[in-house]
Structure 1
């Protein structure tokens, strides 16, 4: 058990505070239109597509969990009929990742949610969250949940709360720094100092 006060993080590691949030009934959605020139669609991802979008959406925020998976393990998740993936496209390129995981009976996990820098600030995030809420609660669930962490955008936690999620638990996650293991380039997540 951790005691109050400071605790050393070993060199080569990163530590993040993870906040777990949940929604126990469908939240009201604030209707917004898609930004001009942006389309929403359900994706049938192959490895190249998923790894590309995951990298472009997640590298600024140090997403690395799916980078740890080999191709077979990742495709097992993506091919599961209880996992749904959606995206937003602009100018013929997919610029968002919405992944809903229904594999736990009666629940949906917002497994991944994010936009590339090309869509951040355009209103596309609110539209995508509306889609996430609608898609999740169209299934027979009693709980919609997600994790976010201190490496995410500073606006993320407040955005999730404004979307109707309630924080219910907090954890500390310690991991090898993915920029030092080669999972991410060293210039990823510049808001997190790189300490060798």
Structure 2
């Protein structure tokens, strides 16, 4: 694991800002671990082919709001559709009992066979029942069987506290870290102000 950056280089945060530590990970060969068995019954894994923008926003916003995912929220419908309808972007949805429980998004638009696990996460009601490791394993398998030469992902200190460990257990290796100061999307109005209470809003 790379040496964590010295957070003291930013002694304080201005109002409305967030300090985010991003960890970049990669996998250069398929993992050797056996595939995980489905942890629950009535489970289905389906690729969303040209999903509607409204359905994608439901997935992205519901999964990402507790962790302050903001990038795709800021895109207008046309810009978002151009990404999620690209044939090299694969969005797979996990259903439990016919209900969406989480999704994984593989981006194959990179160079030299690099595939990025751009988004991955569970709808809050389905967190904690071992569905996350199962979905992650399926996404990793899909990346490699689809011709990946390298698989990348990143996580940050706004994510679920077990996210980094989950990626490492799946076979990803941390390669670098960065510290960024970002606008708090709850202050800018992109995300509701009561989201992610585990990260207090800096007001003064």
Do both share a fold (TM > 0.5)?
A: yes
Q: Aligned-pair distance for 1:40?
A: 1.1
Q: SS state of the match for residue 53, structure 1?
A: helix
Q: What does the per-residue CA deviation read over 1:54-112, in whole Å, with 9 as the maximum and x for residues that have no partner? A: 11111111111111111111111101111000011123321212000000131100000
Cα contact 2:65–2:195 (8 A) shared by 1: yes
Cα contact 1:29–1:130 (8 A) shared by 2: no
Q: Number of paired residues?
A: 195
Gaps of 5+ in 2: 1-5
- For residues 202 and 131 of structure 2, the distance between their equivalents in structure 1, rounded to whole angstroms, comes to 34
Matched, 1:31 2:35: yes
- For residues 10 and 62 of structure 2, the distance between their equivalents in structure 1, rounded to whole angstroms, comes to 34
Compared CA separation, residues 188 and 30, structure 1 to 2 (3 A): farther
Aligned with 1:41 (options 25, 30, 46):
46
Residue correspondence of structure 1 range 79-94 to structure 2 within 5 A? 79-94=85-100
- For residues 158 and 177 of structure 1, the distance between their equivalents in structure 2, rounded to whole angstroms, comes to 25
Q: SS state of the match for residue 80, structure 1?
A: coil
Residue correspondence of structure 1 range 165-184 to structure 2 within 5 A? 165-184=172-191
Gaps of 5+ in 1: none
Matched, 1:11 2:15: yes
Q: SS state of the match for residue 73, structure 1?
A: helix
- For residues 169 and 186 of structure 2, the distance between their equivalents in structure 1, rounded to whole angstroms, comes to 32
| Matching residue of 1:127 | 134
State the TM-score, normalizing by the size of structure 2.
0.90
Instruction: Give the aligned CA root-mean-square deviation in angstroms.
Output: 1.6
State the TM-score, normalizing by the size of structure 1.
0.93
